[in-house]
Structure 1
Amino acid sequence: MNLNFGGAIWLRGVTIPYLQETTANKRGFYIDQFRISVDGDYGVDDRTKLTFSSQVRFFQYQTLIHHMWVGVDFSENHTIKLGVTQVPFGTIPGSTNSFWYSLGYYIGLEDDHDAGLKYHFNKNGWDLYLAYFMNADYNDATALNRFAPDLVRSENQQNEERNQGNIRIAKVFQNDVSNSTEIGFSGEIGQINNRATGKDGLRWKSAFHYVGTYNKWSPKFQLSRYVYEPKNPDGVDDRLVQMGFFEDSRLIAAKANVINASLRRDFGLDWWLFQELDIYMDYSKVFKDESSFADSELINPGAVLRAGPLYIWFDFMWGKNAWYFNDSQEASGPGAGAPNPNRFEYRQNISIEWFF
């Protein structure tokens, strides 16, 4: 049996030229998180191996489970995982390069984690996922100490995620080790249970993604569509649903199209302590179905330096009608839009991360 312990310590500094009322976005420099990871495997026979992985993250204001699963590797081509795992949707592990992710992350389209059963097949460039998730990462839709946004319940918003199915299929075309192209499609469908009415609504998502690796250049693109159709009581606006994570929640548009586009350049580096420098540009936009809502947009140029286990991230972000880019929950713009929907807000992020 193999058993591995690991973790990370993150320090973070932010510059925000406007008031933020959430504890997750304090101005200044502070300890962002401390995490512990445990992974292991046990070989049953020459072909079959039992595996497990878990990670807990500790913040100043919350403790959360990032993932926690047990699995079986039947061969190098077939695996099954049971527990809280990453939802197989779109570009994996993510459609962006930055510390801050894209707008898709903040509405459940990037690096989401839920609780269920996931099957993975990979052979000859073909990559297939099939998954069923009974509920979100916690079986408690009022809990906000979660890694990625899910439907959450509070006040007149009483919706939660149930019975979700996912399929993701991709093909990698590889010329050599440093030149490859991946094209894939994803689909997701699930229930929305409303505690107030006792009725089940429908939600679905779909995506086309492209990932390229061409020597030192790495472009990514993803086009997504999502729809939430809750069965709310009379008087609750069906054009909005409430998402929550990181001890915070916001209303988002219930129906929209989303684009993510990014480009990264890897530089070999031999300077002082550092061995690697990556420079990138990430862009994302949410086109909301409701014509009276203001679309959301995020522009994020940045860079990351690596010195062995030490990573230093620099993100410079301009966003409008986006999560954490306005004064408060009431003024935030993922849903109908911010008070000044056409104005870009700016924030800068520095993250120092040590992995062990």
Structure 2
Amino acid sequence: MFLFFLWGCFFSNLVQAQESPEVKIGGALRFNYNLSSWKPEQKSRGGDFGYDMFRINAVAAYRGIYVNAEFRHYSEAFGGGMLKQGWFGYRFNEAEELQVGLTQVPLGIQQYNSHNWFFNLGYYMGLEDDHDMGIKYMNLGEKWEYQIAYFKNAEELNFGDASVVSPSRYSYDVAGNNKEVHQGNIKLLYKWGDSLKSRLGVSAQYGGLYNINTKRKGDHYALAAHYEADFKQWNLKTEAMLVSHNPNNAEGVSREIITMAAYGAPYEVASDFNLYTLAIARDVPVSWGPVSNLQFYNDFGYMQKKPASFEDSFMNVTGVLISAGNLYTYVDYAAGYNHSWLGGNFVNDFAAGNPDAKWEARFNINFGYYF
């Protein structure tokens, strides 16, 4: 009933729409340099510098209905071409909006719970800047904000009868023999303050996990409390999450581990965990030729896994974002412990992990021109 109500509101307000079409095209080109502590041959040659990503953004509107899409192309090793986001939308007024398509999941701090190029730890479990296929209603008032959404499934690229989730995607989703289905989300924010601007919120999601082998559904959920503050040149983001996945796997297949996938490759993640993040940044305006601002930051994440035999995961990124016209350069020192993208064993660092693991680090510079 809620879905039909939203569509009724959608069409009943078309009479307020503008008559002339609008189209805006933008994009970005990014290159990346990295030097990793766990790659001895790369260290001996002084790191690697190469292609990261090219993207095209399109926003178009006519008679009140608009489309917002972003297509990215990475190297084949990182998934190749993929739609990062794309939705049809309608704004009822300055506060209320409806989006249908591949839209951001309203969970936790948005748009990003981080300041650096690597995101924070939750991104690697599909809990930051995640996008799924569904319908979302947003009411963004001056004091209160709330979002209600229903997602039929994650982005579907293989439309077979029993096809597995493709790893060629931007945001992490449950993969392997399980698929996310029929997920509901709700998010509530309260905003206050003048010199110290605060945003305190809670959000939750609940959905099904369809198992291709057993043809039965399990479930998953996430609960989050989050706070963001701005004071002068400072920004603070902090978040706590309780996350659980209960797959209905075939007999003999562990339910303590799920498979997740993005950027062309799957890996294992603990089914149940708590996630804690703390990110802080400070802007320093400068006037150095084209350079107008330096943003210094430190973003920290801790994944506390429920099984006692699993080793916890950590991530910390210290860096600076250099703004020079349309060129944005992230200079990051990213350190990880049992982190699949920061040394160690890619396959199961976020699951069982390794009790003998060492902290590994990657020095990274990302150059991006946005137009």
Q: Same fold (TM over 0.5)?
A: yes
Aligned pairs for 1:293-312 within 5 A: 293-312=310-329
Contact kept, 8 Å, 1:192 with 1:201, in 2: the verdict is yes
Contact kept, 8 Å, 1:249 with 1:329, in 2: the verdict is no
The one-letter code sitting in structure 1 at the alignment partner of 2:135 is: L
SS at match of 2:119: coil
**1:175 maps onto 2:194 in alignment:** yes
**CA RMSD for the aligned pairs?**
1.5
What's the TM-score once normalised by structure 1's chain length? 0.92
**1:53 maps onto 2:53 in alignment:** no
Q: Report the alpha carbon displacement of residue 338 of structure 1 after superposing the two structures with TM.
A: 2.9
Q: 1:205 aligns with which of 208, 212, 222?
A: 222
Q: Report the alpha carbon displacement of residue 339 of structure 1 after superposing the two structures with TM.
A: 6.3
**1:159 maps onto 2:178 in alignment:** yes
Structure 2 counterpart of 1:23: none
CA deviation map 1:21-64 (0-9, x unaligned)? xxxxxx6111101101110223x4xxxx2121111001121111
Contact kept, 8 Å, 1:322 with 1:333, in 2: the verdict is yes
Q: Report the alpha carbon displacement of residue 87 of structure 1 after superposing the two structures with TM.
A: 0.5
Q: Report the alpha carbon displacement of residue 272 of structure 1 after superposing the two structures with TM.
A: 2.4
Aligned pairs for 1:1-356 within 5 A: 1-19=21-39, 28-42=48-62, 44=63, 49-61=64-76, 62-140=80-158, 141-153=164-176, 158-175=177-194, 179-330=196-347, 332-338=348-354, 340-341=356-357, 343-356=358-371
Q: 11-20 vs 32-41, which deviates more? A: 11-20
Contact kept, 8 Å, 1:147 with 1:245, in 2: the verdict is yes
Give the distance between the partners of 1:102 and 1:51, measured in 2 at CA.
31
What's the TM-score once normalised by structure 2's chain length? 0.88
Contact kept, 8 Å, 1:277 with 1:304, in 2: the verdict is yes
Q: Which is helix-richer, 1 or 2?
A: 2
The one-letter code sitting in structure 1 at the alignment partner of 2:360 is: E
Structure 1 counterpart of 2:12: none
The one-letter code sitting in structure 1 at the alignment partner of 2:336 is: G
Give the distance between the partners of 2:292 and 2:152, measured in 1 at CA.
43
Contact kept, 8 Å, 2:339 with 2:346, in 1: the verdict is no
SS at match of 1:104: helix
Give the distance between the partners of 1:175 and 1:142, measured in 2 at CA.
46
Gap runs ≥5 in structure 1: 21-26
Contact kept, 8 Å, 1:19 with 1:327, in 2: the verdict is no
SS at match of 1:175: coil
Give the distance between the partners of 2:234 and 2:344, measured in 1 at CA.
37
- How many residues get paired? 338
Contact kept, 8 Å, 2:70 with 2:86, in 1: the verdict is yes
